[in-house]
């Protein structure tokens, strides 16, 4: 199915963070741009996630804490994670969007983009942080594994910040292959190449920390040397993407220099991989990206890629980019002999 599903609910702009980088204006700008882009899109209104499904990842006491803070008029989980009166409802709806997107992806083979907030990849089982309340992508993966019966899910995270919550959720679990590109030393300070998983999950976490200023050359090299061979070897039954747009050059919370074209190219590349290994998707979850106009244009670029429109893209990696990707490659090789 070539039509892309866009998951959106008005509650997503009622998560009111005030004068904050992760603000409702991000979606208020992006939504009309996506609506006018002329692509073949199907807009889908999600339903709230059942609480027992949110509890697949998050402690019941943590879920209740978010609800209580919102019900009492809002507040902060920490210095940069805001809860407003409607934030709990928005977060439950964002989680529900992920569950529905996975169901539909598996049943009709549809690629999708979740135009949602609050974002999720920093949230762990009992802690929200980094603007995140519930970990939408981790919940979707857990739902696919525990409820829908899948055995292998691949999560690729291209946000400039490492998805520490997602990594922690699946660090011991070989049923999820987690691959992340992010800026080294940036918030939240996790995601070293040596972090490869533990127990049964050893080798199923692959981190590619990039130095400040690195960009499209690293993007291409990561896909050609890590993402493609690992995807083909792992044979996932579902591919999920933490689509953050803060690695784009000019983002105030970033530091990398990805181009708008890189997002279209990555989405197209992932679409091609899913078709080659015979799985649906990709399913893309909005994470970061803090210049609303730039965010909107890059989301449209991603949608073009999900429709199979592959842009010209042949950047050469710099020596530093090559060294960073090579370090990640060498760290992963012992666990993927004959693959990398």
pTM tops 0.85, yes or no: yes
pLDDT score recorded for residue 315: 97
pLDDT score recorded for residue 191: 98
The number of beta carbons lying within 10 Å of the beta carbon of residue 75 is: 13
CA gap 125, 274 in Å, rounded: 29
CA 245 from chain centre, in angstroms, equals 10
Catalytic residue of the set 15, 121, 122, 186: 122
> Which structure tokens are listed for 100?
């529905």
Report whether 120 contacts 162 (CB < 8 A).
no
Residue (of 151, 168, 173, 140) closest to 286 by Cα position: 140
In the chain, the number of structural domains is 1
Active site residue 182: no
**Residue 199: inside a domain:** yes
pLDDT score recorded for residue 163: 98
Residue (of 287, 316, 33) closest to 157 by Cα position: 287
pLDDT score recorded for residue 258: 98
Residues of the chain short of pLDDT 70, as ranges, are 1
> Which structure tokens are listed for 59?
């402690």
Question: What is the extent of the structural domain holding 172?
Answer: 4-335
Read off the CATH number of the domain in which 52 is found.
Answer: 3.40.800.20
**Residue 340: inside a domain:** no
Q: What is the dihedral of CA 278, 280, 281, 283, to 10 degrees?
A: -140
CA gap 32, 165 in Å, rounded: 31
């Amino acid at each position: 199915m070539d039509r892309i599903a866009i998951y959106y609910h008005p509650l997503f702009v009622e998560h009111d963070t005030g004068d904050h980088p992760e603000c409702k204006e991000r979606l208020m700008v992006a939504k009309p741009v996506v609506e006018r882009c002329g692509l073949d899109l199907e807009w889908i209104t999600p339903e709230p996630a059942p609480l027992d499904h949110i509890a697949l990842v998050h402690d019941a006491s943590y879920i209740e804490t978010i609800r209580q803070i919102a019900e009492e008029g809002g507040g902060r989980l920490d210095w940069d994670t805001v809860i407003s009166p409607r934030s709990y409802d928005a977060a439950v709806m964002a989680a529900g969007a992920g569950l529905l997107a996975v169901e539909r992806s598996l049943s009709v083979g549809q690629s999708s983009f979740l135009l949602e907030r609050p974002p999720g990849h920093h949230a762990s089982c009992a802690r929200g942080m980094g603007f995140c309340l519930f970990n939408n992508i981790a919940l979707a993966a857990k739902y696919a594994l525990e409820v829908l019966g899948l055995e292998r899910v691949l999560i690729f995270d291209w946000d400039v910040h490492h998805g520490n919550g997602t990594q922690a959720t699946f660090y011991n679990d070989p049923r999820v292959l987690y691959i992340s590109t992010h800026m080294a030393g940036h918030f939240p300070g996790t995601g070293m190449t040596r972090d490869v998983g533990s127990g049964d999950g050893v080798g199923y976490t692959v981190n590619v920390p990039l130095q400040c200023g690195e960009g499209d050359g690293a993007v291409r090299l990561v896909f050609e040397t890590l993402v493609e061979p690992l995807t083909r070897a792992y044979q996932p039954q579902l591919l999920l993407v933490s689509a953050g747009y803060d690695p784009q050059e000019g983002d105030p919370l970033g530091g990398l220099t990805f181009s708008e074209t890189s997002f279209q190219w990555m989405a197209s590349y992932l679409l091609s991989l899913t078709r080659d290994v015979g799985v649906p998707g990709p399913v893309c979850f909005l994470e970061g990206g803090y210049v609303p106009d730039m965010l909107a244009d890059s989301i449209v670029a991603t949608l073009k890629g999900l429709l199979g429109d592959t842009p010209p893209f042949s950047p050469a990696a710099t020596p530093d980019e090559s060294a960073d990707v090579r370090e990640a490659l060498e760290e992963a090789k012992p666990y993927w002999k004959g693959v990398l």
